[in-house]
Amino acid sequence: GQQLNQSPQSMFIQEGEDVSMNCTSSSIFNTWLWYKQDPGEGPVLLIALYKAGELTSNGRLTAQFGITRKDSFLNISASIPSDVGIYFCAGQKNYGQNFVFGPGTRLSVLP
Amino acid sequence: NAGVTQTPKFQVLKTGQSMTLQCAQDMNHEYMSWYRQDPGMGLRLIHYSVGAGITDQGEVPNGYNVSRSTTEDFPLRLLSAAPSQTSVYFCASSPDGVALSYEQYFGPGTRLTVT
């Protein structure tokens, strides 16, 4: 069954606004990933996190590995139209195991 | 490098028909995998391979077969298509085999409809 939850499911924001989304689980994960999927394309890796409490940035994107190791957060600052897409989190429980994916957060940016 | 390529991009099948979704990568990656994406479900792992000649089941393997005779190719076979297999299918590859790393590269997807 699905092990990761993402919220919100979808969001509509104005261009220039900041965005926050999260990924939660009842299980502990050792690695968290954040992907973005553009319409009609495959997911592309944005950020990888390896340690509890880790904060990593990629341009306007910042992701954090939750202290409890059961959650992760993604923030996008000053959103622009090309930020539109679906954002997925993925977690790996133990080194060498396959990743499990969350259901995604669909982001729409209004001009 | 072309990266990960998938064919066809779109396919419509009738219930009971069989077909093969093709996936190829030119990055000499050890690990390859197939996912299906359904609304509200995220990506679910169907089958994966940690190297040529080695395959294993993922979360939702029923109704699908795979083989890995070369490093480059990892076809997914639907033996008798069912409407429940209507989905978007993604192939992915990673440089690491047994020690799966985060660095997965996804293909553009195949949108399959079974009527």
Q: CA of B54 to nearest chain A CA: how many angstroms apart? A: 15
What is residue B102's predicted lDDT score, i.e. its pLDDT?
Answer: 64
Confidence of residue B104 (pLDDT cuts 50, 70, 90): confident
Residue B95: list chain A partners with CB under 8 A.
none
CB-nearest partner of B109 from A42, A96, A103: A42
d(CA A83, CA A36): 9
d(CA B76, CA B87): 14
- A5 shares contact with chain B (CB less than 8 Å): no
pLDDT tens per residue, range B33-85 = 999 999 878 899 999 999 999 999 999 999 999 999 999 999 999 999 999 99
Are B104 and A45 in contact (CB < 8 Å)?
A: yes
- Taking 3-state DSSP, the helix, strand and coil percentages for chain B, each rounded to the nearest 5, stand at 5, 50, 45
- A99 shares contact with chain B (CB less than 8 Å): yes
CB-nearest partner of B100 from A42, A48, A97: A97
- B52 shares contact with chain A (CB less than 8 Å): no
Q: Which residues of chain A have pLDDT under 70?
A: 1-2
Residue A48: list chain B partners with CB under 8 A.
102
Candidates A55, A56, A65, A110; CA nearest to A83 is A110
Are B100 and A98 in contact (CB < 8 Å)?
A: yes
d(CA A102, CA A55): 20
Confidence of residue B87 (pLDDT cuts 50, 70, 90): very high
Degrees, nearest 5: CA angle B108-B60-B67: 65
- A25 shares contact with chain B (CB less than 8 Å): no
* Residue count of chain A: 111
**Which of B16-20, B36-40, B57-61, B109-113 bottoms out in mean pLDDT, i.e. has the lowest?**
B36-40
- A105 shares contact with chain B (CB less than 8 Å): no
Confidence of residue B99 (pLDDT cuts 50, 70, 90): very low
Mean pLDDT of the region B95-110:
76
